[in-house]
Structure 1
Amino acid sequence: MRIGLMVGSDKERPRADRLSGLIDDGKAAEEQGFASFWIPQVPGYLDAMTAVALLGAATDRIEIGTAVVPIQTRHPLIMAQQALTTQIACGGRFTLGIGPSHHWIVSDQLGLPYDKPARLVRDYLEVLDAAFDGPGSLAVDNDTYRVHSPVDVTDAFTVPVLVAALGPAMLRTAGERTGGTILWMADERAIGDYVVPRITAAAKDAGREGVRVVAGVPVALCADDEVDDARAYASEVLGHADFSPNYVRLLEHGDAEDVGDTMAAGDEATVATRLRRYRDAGVTDLAVRVVALGQDAAQRQASRQRTQEFVASMASEFASGR
């Protein structure tokens, strides 16, 4: 299991420093030995793929990915053009994480239709796949898109794709058509008993090997008597279960009720044990979302640094399969 970092919106940073700070965070992750660095497309915040491109130009080794870009916000050909351009900036280290998002984002915030997301993803991937096979003339006609256009961005790179797949149809599509899935709000039982069997079976049926299961997991080092508060805090600042039916259905396959229940929290031994359980459930890539604890900015920064350094120290163990 490879260990990477997943970041979020950092509202404690001044707006003028958020992009440069994000780049600094990614460079630090590379220096600490993390395998990957995942940037979400947060509504109203920094554009994820632009940030990935800038970080790619500032780093040398680390995989950089989006987690995830809602497909309704970009035509698939435009997404492909941007992704290929980003891949050039990253020198082949970019992974495109996409998904159909949620009704409360697509419909309520953006005013766009949220209909048949599984079919939309399949049709979207058909265009992406054709564009990534370029350069050349693109001709795709399906239920959602009619695309007839040249594609001439690069012949040096393609772009691996991961899909945020929560339901059975989406997991089947991810296994058949992409490099795997990227998850949030899934505990070990949901992953081991529900996600992994479905996506690996779909990949096998399609003749694909090496399907990835990237799991976003919140992590915080803290005292034993702080664990419950840490979980409650994580659910408060990171949770969407109460208004995201997609997450509710995923949670039903495990033991967690909200994102705090998926969290690895406690002392070093407790955190390490929980992370090993994710590995044993079939997670190929852990995207650690460090949850900084404390009453003020200085305490939270110290908490973040301590947790991140500990997780980085475990990377070699997990990479070796021990």
Structure 2
Amino acid sequence: MARWGITLPLLGVPVLEHRALVSELAGLGYTDVWSAETTGTDAFTPLALAAQWSSELRFGPAIAPVYTRGPATLAMTAATLAEVTGGRFVLGIGSSSPAIVQRWNAIPFEEPFKRTRDTLRFLKAALAGEKVTAEYDTFAVSGFKLERPPVERVPIMLAALRPNMLRLAGREADGAITNWLAASDVAQVREELGESELAARIFVCPTEDADAARALGRMLISTYLTVPAYAAFHDWLGRGEALRPMREAWAAGDRKAASKAIPDEVVDALIVHGSVGECRARVAEYQTAGVDTPIIALLPTGGDQVEQVRALAPKA
């Protein structure tokens, strides 16, 4: 089944105002709704609501950090979402970032690969209904058992950028969730992941004002791709030299210069922009390249976001 996802809630749109849109999505050809968790809504509440407005879509967080909820709490939340979605739930987890984990939640951001691996292993056992007593490298659990385990197995996908996490996702999870990649990068990511499901959040700016789209893209790229994990990801993908001037300006504290230093070709590779038809075709290129589940993340253009979601649908 060809999948086509959308990131909800839409920027600036209250959660409860999504009901009519969610009820339309399956008919438009969307198969998935994925949430995000940074400084807006949490990862789970919008999905629990949206699941009551559609009986066909699949739902998942992309992603829930493995640090900001205890392992047992994360298992209980996943079990609850599996129940309220009627089994149409995929749990996306990942290490997140030092800003979210340490600066905003006051939790040490230590050993992210091991913490993600350990949480994955715990969740697989807990969601299967096992009573878990285990010493992991990064935490220990003693005697936890879900009161009401999910009726159906809950797939777990990992946020993954580089080979070690991608291989872990392919080996022990049900797939990987990635972002900030070009369609031309997919083959390199797929080679490490293997045949498991690959989901990719794709930033889409449906406007024919290329200068405006690139300006927004530069702001986002300079903010994200200076984070160490994303910087290392793009070094691995081969963009390190192209992004070096941006990184140097950012490290010197000159945010404007950092943004200006990003070449057009990098912005155009990582941000999908143009008419809605051109954007839809660009997203489809990711599928052709090997992404199983493209997840559109709509960037603001000043236009009607609900209409843009409709226009970007595969059946539009």
Normalising to structure 1: TM-score of the pair?
Answer: 0.81
8 Å CA contact retained: 1:220, 1:307 = no
Q: 1:138, 1:151 within 8 Å by CA — same for their partners in 2? A: no
1:197 paired residue number: 191
Alignment deviations for residues 249-296 of structure 1 (CA, whole Å, 9 cap, x no partner): 2223055867764122113553344223312321011101122313xx
8 Å CA contact retained: 2:82, 2:150: no
From the superposition, tell whether residues 116 and 260 of structure 1 become closer, same or farther in structure 2 (CA, over 3 Å): farther
Seen in structure 2, the aligned counterparts of structure 1 residues 307 and 171 have a Cα distance that, compared at 3 Å, is same
Between the aligned partners of 1:171 and 1:259, the Cα distance in structure 2 is 24
Secondary structure at 2:46 match in 1: helix
The 3 A distance-change label for structure 1 pair 167 and 158 is same
Which residue identity does 2:204 align to in structure 1?
V
Determine whether 1:236 maps to 2:236: no
Tell me if the contact between 2:280 and 2:314 (Cα under 8 Å) persists in the aligned partners: no
Matches of 1:271 and 1:8 in 2, distance apart?
A: 20
Q: Does 1:221 align with 2:212?
A: no
Residues 1:74 and 1:192: Cα distance change in structure 2 (over 3 Å) = same
Distance 1:240-1:182 versus aligned 2 partners, 3 A rule: farther
* Match status 1:156 vs 2:139: no
Q: Give the Cα–Cα distance (whole angstroms) in 2 for the partners of residues 2 and 77 of structure 1.
A: 31
Within a 5 Å distance, the mapping from 1:171-186 to structure 2 comes to 171-186=166-181
State yes or no: 1:143 paired with 2:143: no
Give the direction of change, closer, same or farther, for the CA distance of 1:254–1:310 in structure 2 (3 Å limit): farther
2:128 aligned with 1:120:
no
Q: 1: distance between equivalents of 2:123 and 2:228?
A: 27
Shift of 1:114: 1.1
Distance in 1, matches of 2:65 and 2:10, equals 16
Counterparts of residues 71-90 of structure 1 (less than 5 Å): 71-90=66-85
2:57 maps to amino acid:
I
Deviates more, 1:50-59 or 1:175-184: 50-59
1:224-252 deviations in Å (ceiling 9; x for gaps): xx123213214435763254111122223
Q: Distance in 2 between matches of 1:247 and 1:114?
A: 16
What whole-Å deviation, never above 9, does each CA across 1:46-96 have from its counterpart, x for those lacking one?
222122122212220001110111110111121011101111000011111
**Residues 127 and 149 in structure 2, CA contact (< 8 A), matched pair in contact too:** no
User: Which structure shows the bigger proportion of residues in helix conformation?
Assistant: 1
1:7 alignment counterpart: 8
Q: Secondary structure at the match of 1:60?
A: coil
Normalised by the length of structure 2, the TM-score is 0.83
Aligned-partner SS, 2:48: helix
Give the distance between the partners of 1:94 and 1:229, measured in 2 at CA.
36
Identity %: 26
CA RMSD of aligned residues (A): 2.4
Deviates more, 1:32-41 or 1:21-30: 21-30
The residue type paired with residue 41 of structure 1 is E
The alpha-carbon deviation at position 220 of structure 1 amounts to 3.1
- SS of alignment partner, residue 286 of structure 1: strand
For residue 168 of structure 1, report the CA deviation from its aligned partner: 1.7
1:162 and 1:180 in contact (8 A); partners too: yes
Unaligned residue ranges in structure 2 (runs of 5+): 244-265
Output the CA distance in 1 between the equivalents of 2:214 and 2:176: 25
**Matched residue, 2:34:** 38
The gaps in structure 1 that reach 5 residues or longer are 201-209, 295-299, 316-322
Match of 2:263 in 1: none
- AA matched with 2:313: A
Tell me if the contact between 1:221 and 1:306 (Cα under 8 Å) persists in the aligned partners: no
**46-55 or 163-172, which deviates more:** 46-55
Q: 2:100 is matched with which residue?
A: 105
Q: Give the SS at the match of 2:131.
A: strand
Q: Is the 8 A contact 1:126 1:140 kept in 2?
A: no
- Contact 1:88–1:157 at 8 Å: present in 2 too? no
**What's 2:196 paired with?**
211
1:267 to 275, 280, 288: 275
Cα-to-partner distance string for 1:127-181 (whole Å, 9 max, x where unaligned): 10110111x4222222222212222213512211111111221111111111111
Matching residue's letter, 1:117: P
The answer (yes or no) to whether the contact 2:29–2:315 under 8 Å persists in 1 is no
Q: Secondary structure at the residue paired with 2:134?
A: strand
In 2 relative to 1, CA 260–39 (structure 1 residues): closer, same or farther, beyond 3 Å?
farther
Distance, in Å, in 2 between the alignment partners of 1:86 and 1:62 is 13
Alpha-carbon contact 1:5-1:38 (below 8 Å) kept: yes
